[in-house]
Amino acid sequence: MIDRHRLNALREDIGEEDFADVVCLFIGEIGEKLTQLQAAPQGATADDFHFLRGSAVNLGLTAFAEACTGAEGACRAGQPPDVAGVARAFAAAMAALAPDLPDVAALADFASAA
């Protein structure tokens, strides 16, 4: 579910001081996009899920990235994406990340509502 090697590589790349801020930025952007998609799932595009997938990969959220890949593929095939499934995958990722990043868990109030 979480690629901790990727998460630790990100931590090393940006430094311990800025790590939490960068993760919070990613989580905030993901939460905003998911809130928009849940409010209007009929308007979801492949680009929306591509954006989410990129953020997920950067953070090492592998299962969430896979859900985004599936939703992106559905959009490209002209089928409705599983927005609720993507939101559930994000919630599960936040729960899995909480032990590593307790400060980020506070940002994930959105995730528990998914």
Question: Is this structure's pTM higher than 0.95?
Answer: no
The dihedral formed by the CA atoms of 60, 64, 67 and 71, expressed in degrees to the nearest 10 = -90
How many domains does the chain divide into?
1
Q: Tokens 């969430």 identify what position?
A: 64
Return per-residue pLDDT of the chain as tens, 114 residues.
889 899 889 999 999 888 888 888 889 899 999 999 999 999 999 999 999 999 999 999 999 999 999 999 999 999 999 999 999 999 999 888 888 777 666 655 544 444
Collect contacts of 50-53 with beta carbons under 8 A, ≥24 apart. Answer: 52/86
